[in-house]
Chains A and B, each alone.
Chain A
Amino acid sequence: MAQTEHYILNMGPQHPSTHGVLRVKVELDGERIVHCTPVMGYLHRGIEKLMESRTYTQCVPFTDRLDYVSSMNNNWAFCGAVEKLAGIEVPERAEYIRVICAELNRIASHQVFIGSLLIDLGAATGMIYAFRDREKVLDLFNIICGARMTCHYIRIGGVIKDAQDEFLKETQKFVDYVPQMLQEYDNLFTGNEIFMERLKGTSIITKEDALRFNMSGPNIRASGHEYDIRKIDSYGVYDRFDFQVPTGTKGDNWDRYRIRFEEIRESARIIQQALDSIPAGPYMAKVPKVLKPAKGDVYHRVENTRGELGFYIVSDGTTKPYRVHIHRPSFINLQALDTMCKGLLLADAVAAYATVDPLMGEVDC
C-alpha cells in the first residue's frame, strides 16, 4: 500500500528569500504547507542588554541597528521616550525635520519591501527599479546626516545638524518624482496579471486573527483595522498634517502590497506639507551634557514602517537606563506566519514572508 507522509523542509537561515537570517521550518505535504514555524534568534545581539551599560546618548546609535532600513523612525522612538522621561521640549523646526526624515525613511523602507517582494516572486528587474529609487532617499540621508542607512540623526532633544537648503531642495525634487516613480511601478508590475494572480487571495489573515496576534502597522491595516499610531496616539507634529491611512479589506498578500504602495503616496504628501510649512529656529533643545532623567519609567511608541515600535525605559536616576525593552513590530507580525501559510503552496509562503515584511535585525533585536 502506498503511504504518504509529511516532510520537514528547513528554509533558512541560509536561503535566498528569508530576508536575512530567518529560519522557517516548513512541514510540507507535497508542495502544500501543513505548518510553518519561524525560528528566530540567528541575529540576536542583545541590544536591550547593551543599552543598560551605555548612557542615554550612547544608546541612540544602537537603535539604528534594530530595524536597519528605517533607522530614522527607530531613533525617533528612542529619543521620544527619553524626552518624555526627562521632560525635554523639542524645538518646532526639529519636529518638522523629524517628520520629513521619518517619512522619507518610510518611503525607503517600503521600497525595500516592494523590491524584496518582487525578487521573491522572481521579478529581478522590478526589484532593481525599487532599489534604484530607494537610492535617491539614501542619498538624501547622506546629505543631511552623512550616513545612508544607520543614520543616527534624530537625537535626544532634536536633530543633531540643521537641515541645509540643499537637503530641502533635493527632498522637494524627490517628492516631485514620487508620482512618476509610482506610475512606473504600476506599469511594470502592479498591473501585471501574473503578479496579481500570485498575490490576490493568498495568505489571508482576517481582522480578528490580526487583532488576536496583536499585529500592527501595514499588516493589520491590510486586514481592515485602521490602526496607525500617527493618528490614534499622535506624536511629534503629525496632528498638523493632512493624510489618510490606507486600509485594505481582505488582508491578503495583495492588500498588504497595495497598502504599502499607497503609504508611499501618503508619505510624499506629508513631506510636501512639512516642506511647505517648515519654520526657522533652533533645531536642538538645551539638553544637559550628562543626562540624568528622574526615577521612573516611560513607554513611547511610534509608527515604524513595520508597525508599532515602542520603547519601554526604566530609569533609576543615573546616566544609564536601568532597563530597556523594545516592542518590535516585526517580531510580533511574524507570529502570524503559520496562520497565513496553512494550506498554501511553497511559493506562496515565500510571498507571505515578503509581505509580512519582517526585518531580522528587529525580530532578533
Chain B
Amino acid sequence: MHNGILYLVTQDIREALLPIAGSEIIVNLTIMALGIALMFGLVTGSALIFTLLERKVCAFIQVRIGPNRVGPGGTLQSLADMLKLMSKEDIVPQGIDMWLWVLSPALIFVPSALIYAMFPFDDGVIFADVNIGLFLILAITSQSVLPFLMGGYASNSKYAMIGGMRTVAQMLAYEVPMVFALMGVVMLTGSLKMSAIVEAQTDVWFVVLQPLAFLIFMVAALVESNRPPFNIVEGESEIIAGPFTEYTGMRWALFFLAEFANLLSISIMTTTLFLGGWHGPEFLPGMVWFAIKVMIMVLVYQWIGWTFPRLRIDHMLTFGWKVLLPIALVNVLLTGIGIYVFNWL
C-alpha cells in the first residue's frame, strides 16, 4: 500500500531528519507540521488558481478574452486581486454583532480546510485515514452552514439576513439526499474509510455502478458549495451578495477563498468517491491521475455554473426534498438488491 511518491519523499525526509533531531516524536511532529503547511498552501494556492481559472472559463464561454493584463496572459491576475483586497479599507458597519461578525469569515475557512485531511491524494497519501472518513467529511461540511448564518445575522443588514436564512434552508435540504446518495457507495465498499473506498474502485469506478448516486451527488455538491446555478445564498441579482454583503477587503476575501476551496473539495470528493481516485493507467503516477480528474471535475462544475440561470429558492427546496431524496432512497434500495443478487450469483 505504501508506495506512492509522496510517501517515499516523506521517508527520505524522515531518514534525513532522524540523526539531527534524535527523537522519533520530534521527527513525526516536524513532518506533520510540514504536511499541514503543505495542505494550507494547497488550499489557498488552489483558491488563487481557481479564481483565475473561473474567470478565464467564464470569459471563454462568454466569447470574451478574460483577464490578460497582469503577468503573462493574465496569470498573475489573482495575485493582483489579492493585493488589492488586502489594501482595501476594512469597513465595519454600524449596529453589528461584533463578535459574530468578526468570527464568521474566520470560521468559514475552517471546515473548508479541515476536510482536506480526509482526502486520499494518492496511494497512502492521506493525512487522517480514519475509519469513519466519509462520515467525518459530511459532518464537517455541514458545519459550514453556521458561519454563513452567523455572518448574515450579525451584519445588521436585511439582505445579509435573507441570505443567511436561505443558507440554512438550502444546506439542510441537500444534506439529506447527498448522504443517501453516498450510502450506495458505502454499501458497495462496506467501509467509510476513504482509502478503502478508493481501493474498492480498482476494477470498476463507482460512476458505472452508481450513476444515479453520481448525478445526485453532483447536484447536491453544487448546492453545498454555493456554486451557480444554486448560488441562491449569494443571489447577486436579488440579495446583492447574501451574507457577505457587509464585508469588505480581506474579510470578504476569506469567504471567497472558502468558496473556491469548496469547489476544489467537491471536485476531489467526486473524484474519490465516483471516479476511482488515484487509479488510472500505469504510465502516469497516481497523483497525476488524481490531479487530472480533479481538474476535469472543476471545469465541469464551472461549465455547469456558467450555463444555467439560477434556481428559485422554492423550486430548489422542492427539487431537493421531493425529487432528489426519493431518487436517492430508491438508489439505496437498488444497490441493496444489486449486492444481494451479486452475492447470490
Contact = CB atoms under 8 A, between A and B. Distances in A.
**A and B form one complex:** yes
Interface stretch (B14-22, B173-181, B194-202, B310-318): B310-318
A31 B170 CA distance: 14
Q: What does DSSP make chain A's interface, helix, strand, loop or mixed? A: helix
Contact of A195 (B240, B306, B309, B314): B309
B309 A350 contact: no
A128 B309 contact: no
B242 to A, nearest CB: 12
A16 B310 contact: no
Nearest to A195: B309
A189 B310 CA distance: 12
B309 A123 contact: yes
Given A122-B229, A129-B63, A15 B240 contact: yes
B226 to A, nearest CB: 12
Given A16-B237, A121-B237, A126 B309 contact: yes
A195 B229 CA distance: 11
Given A7-B158, A31-B162, A125-B62, A347 B309 contact: no
Interface in B300-325: 306-315
Contact of A348 (B228, B240, B312): B312
Interface in A109-146: 118-126, 128-129, 132
A346 interface: yes
B239 A194 contact: no
A244 B236 CA distance: 38
Contacts, number: 78
Contacts of B112: none
A364 B308 CA distance: 34
A122 B313 CA distance: 13
Given A122-B228, A128-B63, A128-B64, A346 B308 contact: no
A347 B236 contact: no
Given A31-B313, A124-B306, A125-B61, A9 B237 contact: no
Residue from B58, B309, B311, B313 having most chain A Cβ neighbours under 10 A: B309
Nearest to A188: B307
A16 B310 CA distance: 15
Task: Place the interface of chain B in its size category.
Answer: 20 to 34
B322 to A, nearest CB: 14
Interface in B222-258: 228-229, 231-232, 235-240
Given A17-B238, A197-B315, A346-B238, A123 B162 contact: no
A188 B63 CA distance: 14
A198 to B, nearest CB: 6
A90 to B, nearest CB: 40
A192 interface: yes
- DSSP class of B's interface residues: helix, strand, loop or mixed? loop
A16 B240 contact: yes
A121 B310 contact: yes
A182 interface: no
Contacts of A121: 237, 309-310
A292 B308 CA distance: 56
B302 to A, nearest CB: 11
A194 B237 contact: no
B307 A17 contact: no
Contact of A346 (B162, B231, B310): B162
B158 A122 contact: no
Contacts of A197: 311-312, 315
B62 A128 contact: yes
Interface in A16-58: 16-17, 31
Contacts of B237: 16-17, 119-122, 350
Given A9-B158, A17-B237, A346-B162, A122 B309 contact: yes
A104 to B, nearest CB: 22
A345 B314 CA distance: 9
Contact of B313 (A17, A123, A128, A345): A345
B306 A122 contact: no
A126 B229 CA distance: 13
19 contacts: A7-B158, A120-B237, A121-B237, A121-B309, A122-B235, A123-B308, A124-B62, A125-B58, A125-B307, A129-B63, A189-B309, A194-B308, A194-B309, A197-B315, A198-B309, A347-B232, A347-B238, A348-B312, A350-B238
9 cross-chain pairs, A with B, having the tightest CB-CB distances, nearest first: A122-B310, A123-B309, A128-B62, A121-B309, A17-B237, A120-B237, A347-B312, A122-B309, A9-B158
Given A9-B159, A197-B311, A346-B162, 7 more contacts: A7-B158, A17-B238, A122-B229, A129-B63, A194-B309, A347-B312, A347-B313
Interface of A: 7, 9, 15-17, 31, 118-126, 128-129, 132, 188-189, 192, 194-195, 197-198, 345-348, 350
